[in-house]
Chains A and B, each alone.
Chain A
Amino acid sequence: MYKYVSWEWRKEARLVRFWGSLCALAVMGGLFTYGYVNLRHKEALLAIVGMGASDGFFVPVLAVSVSATILLPFFVTIVSGDAISGERQWGTWPLLLSQGVSPWRLYGAKWIVGLTYAGLATLTLVLSSALGGFLVMGWHATALPSGIMASAWDQVRLLALMTAYVSVGQMAVASLAITVSAFFRNTLSTVLVVMGVLLVMVMIGEFPVFSTVQRFLLTDYFSQAQAVLSAPPNWLAMERGILVFFLYGMCSWMTMGWFEPFRD
């Protein structure tokens, strides 16, 4: 399996899209810093982040909270959603299969690389916005939105936990995107379908009648990202993250196993 993962990684790492999207996310981290600095005294923002609004810690928190539902999934889908539909679009898929390469191993490799990218994308946004926040406003002991005081070190731990929480959700998005890509012949269709699914999830979340399925929705999961910001850290939220990831991961593999959309 290592051979396949290394192959996929080498191929992806040569794509402008791969590094370009990470650079774009890093730039967005900078933009979030700029926006936050200009908006930090506004009442609407103060209502969300509380008294510690002038601390650099809140820049990545806000960046991740705002981007988790649409922006990050969009980048993740552009790269991961290219997995199989991109091969079909390039016309390399038939050549791969006709050389006796196992499509399941290819899928597995693409899945692992897609998940890695999802984690990298989240980390890039968090690091760039955290760096921006630190440089502009510094990083001090401050009050969390819940009113509890957190030291600078506590904030680092909380941010790591929040990054892990959102990354796991983005990995679920990547898993969904890779599965959808196996059914399409071009990347644009995959991106549109995945973004459409996320939009439907947002809409379902608005109706009380769907309250039973709401906790399984990725959009609901992302909207709860700030729940991890408590002292001591809220590990229960992380457990939910792992559950959601396994749910979407298993659904992806089961869908592939059922349809086997690799061949005519």
Chain B
Amino acid sequence: MAIAVDVMDLSKRYGYRWALKDVTLSVPSGGSLGLVGPNGAGKSTLLRTLLGLARPSKGNAWLNQIPVWPRPERALAEVGGFVDFPRVYPHMTALENLSLWADLTGQPRRRAFEALPLVHLKEHANRRVVEYSHGMRQRLGLAVALLKRPSLIVLDEPRDGLDPARQEEMRGVIEMIRNELGSTFIMSSHVIQDVERLCEQIAVFDAGQLRFFGRPALLGASQDEEIIWEARPLTRALGCLQDLGIWAHVTRDGRLAGCLNANRDLASVNALMVKRGVLIHTVERRQSSLETRLLRYLEDGHVQVR
């Protein structure tokens, strides 16, 4: 199978700090990779290097077998993507913007009309971007990235800064585009559920280093079960679990997820929590989530989770 993204010994240094150190990974054509890790781990730096925005201090990357550096233009010919928050010209309408970007990237203007429904902005095509909400601008940035019908899509935190409803909408848009275009796909995200749902492989970064690269199922496979508590007050419940030496964290939906030690049984843990004034609404056993496994993996590797 052809390799769409090949990264070899890639390092990037800002001053004395290594933002990325000796990263090597590859993604096959049509595959998908999710980059996860705490803030400042090096995810965005890797994407910036791939998209020709940051010169590597060492190593190189190949997109569709074309080296990105020193001249990224050729390697990016079939690549669409953005880092950080994508912005377009605020004084122009969405359609004017897309036509302008289509002309610049040598695409037919009809692509501008085709891209708008993809990101659910057809009804707002003739509104100036300055009047757009944050989420709409984010989707318009995605439309710009898709104008080329790219064989490789690179997205950095595509749902960042959106409210929950818009986040869900954005995930739907990305999922639809990924299925429709069938492109190779790389995204970084703090939302582990997105990565789990959209990506076949994950790369875990911390302090500029690649800690894990492979299928999500292989990450911390030994912790195959977790307990989910819906309990109040949350801080007291968490403190109680920590006192018992039980590793736990608060999930995005405001519940507690933890993994029991071999020498603890669930009934005794629950009894102690109740004794300390914690009100337990529900307790659930389930296959451990990627988020839990990832957090444990980073902690086990003596890495501080920020």
Which of A's residues lie within 8 Å of B, judged by CB?
A: 3-4, 6-7, 10-11, 14-16, 90-92, 94-102, 263-264
Query: Using Cβ atoms and an 8 Å threshold, which residues of chain A touch B87?
Result: 90-92, 95
Say which residue of A3, A99, A263 sits within 8 Å of B76 (CB atoms). Answer: A99
- Judge if B55 is at the interface, Cβ distance under 8 Å: yes
Query: Using Cβ atoms and an 8 Å threshold, which residues of chain B touch A101?
Result: 73, 104-105
Q: How many Å lie between the Cα of A3 and that of B99 in the bound state?
A: 13
Q: How many Å lie between the Cα of A99 and that of B75 in the bound state?
A: 10
Looking across the interface, which residue of chain B has its beta carbon closest to that of A17?
Answer: B91
Q: Are A98 and B103 closer than 8 Å at their CB atoms? A: no
Given contacts A14-B91, A94-B83, A99-B80, contact A263 B55 (CB under 8 A): yes
Q: Are A264 and B90 closer than 8 Å at their CB atoms? A: no
Query: Using Cβ atoms and an 8 Å threshold, which residues of chain A touch B92?
Result: 11, 14
The B147-188 residues at the A interface (CB cut-off 8 A) are 148, 154
- Judge if B53 is at the interface, Cβ distance under 8 Å: yes
- Judge if B77 is at the interface, Cβ distance under 8 Å: yes
- Judge if B216 is at the interface, Cβ distance under 8 Å: no
Contact with A along B1-25 (1 / 0, CB 8 A): 0000000000000100000000000
Q: How many Å lie between the Cα of A3 and that of B209 in the bound state?
A: 41
Q: Are A263 and B103 closer than 8 Å at their CB atoms? A: no
Looking across the interface, which residue of chain A has its beta carbon closest to that of B92?
Answer: A14
Query: Using Cβ atoms and an 8 Å threshold, which residues of chain A touch B53?
Result: 94, 97-98, 263-264
- Judge if B195 is at the interface, Cβ distance under 8 Å: no
Nearest-neighbour CB distance to chain A for B256, whole angstroms, equals: 39
The B103-158 residues at the A interface (CB cut-off 8 A) are 103-106, 141, 144-145, 148, 154
Query: Using Cβ atoms and an 8 Å threshold, which residues of chain A touch B73?
Result: 100-102
Given contacts A91-B85, A99-B148, contact A7 B103 (CB under 8 A): yes
Given contacts A7-B103, A10-B100, contact A98 B89 (CB under 8 A): no
Q: How many Å lie between the Cα of A263 and that of B104 in the bound state?
A: 19
Given contacts A4-B104, A7-B104, A11-B89, contact A98 B81 (CB under 8 A): yes
Q: Are A98 and B104 closer than 8 Å at their CB atoms? A: no
- Judge if B191 is at the interface, Cβ distance under 8 Å: no
For chain B, the bracket of interface size reads 35 or more
Query: Using Cβ atoms and an 8 Å threshold, which residues of chain A touch B229?
Result: none
Q: Are B91 and A99 closer than 8 Å at their CB atoms? A: no
Say which residue of A3, A94, A263 sits within 8 Å of B106 (CB atoms). Answer: A3
Q: Are B55 and A99 closer than 8 Å at their CB atoms? A: no
Looking across the interface, which residue of chain A has its beta carbon closest to that of B101?
Answer: A99
What are 8 A-B pairs with beta-carbon distances under 8 A? A7-B103, A90-B87, A91-B87, A95-B141, A98-B76, A98-B79, A98-B82, A99-B104
Query: Using Cβ atoms and an 8 Å threshold, which residues of chain B touch A94?
Result: 48, 51, 53, 82-84
Looking across the interface, which residue of chain A has its beta carbon closest to that of B54?
Answer: A264
Q: Are A98 and B83 closer than 8 Å at their CB atoms? A: yes
Looking across the interface, which residue of chain B has its beta carbon closest to that of A4?
Answer: B104
Q: Are A97 and B86 closer than 8 Å at their CB atoms? A: no
Looking across the interface, which residue of chain A has its beta carbon closest to that of B99?
Answer: A10
Query: Using Cβ atoms and an 8 Å threshold, which residues of chain B touch A97?
Result: 51-53, 72
Q: Are B89 and A90 closer than 8 Å at their CB atoms? A: yes
Q: How many Å lie between the Cα of A15 and that of B128 in the bound state?
A: 13
Interface centre among A92, A94, A101, A263 (most CB of B within 10 A): A94
Q: Are B76 and A100 closer than 8 Å at their CB atoms? A: yes
List 3 A-B pairs, minimum CB-CB distance, nearest first: A100-B76, A91-B87, A98-B51
Q: Are B82 and A95 closer than 8 Å at their CB atoms? A: yes
Nearest-neighbour CB distance to chain A for B213, whole angstroms, equals: 23
Q: How many Å lie between the Cα of A100 and that of B80 in the bound state?
A: 9
Query: Using Cβ atoms and an 8 Å threshold, which residues of chain A touch B250?
Result: none
- Judge if B88 is at the interface, Cβ distance under 8 Å: yes
Query: Using Cβ atoms and an 8 Å threshold, which residues of chain B touch A96?
Result: 104
Q: Are B103 and A100 closer than 8 Å at their CB atoms? A: no
Query: Using Cβ atoms and an 8 Å threshold, which residues of chain A touch B101?
Result: 99
Looking across the interface, which residue of chain A has its beta carbon closest to that of B71?
Answer: A102
Looking across the interface, which residue of chain B has its beta carbon closest to that of A16?
Answer: B91
Nearest-neighbour CB distance to chain B for A104, whole angstroms, equals: 9
Query: Using Cβ atoms and an 8 Å threshold, which residues of chain A touch B51?
Result: 94, 97-98
Q: How many Å lie between the Cα of A107 and that of B198 in the bound state?
A: 38
Looking across the interface, which residue of chain B has its beta carbon closest to that of A104?
Answer: B73
Query: Using Cβ atoms and an 8 Å threshold, which residues of chain A touch B144?
Result: 95, 99
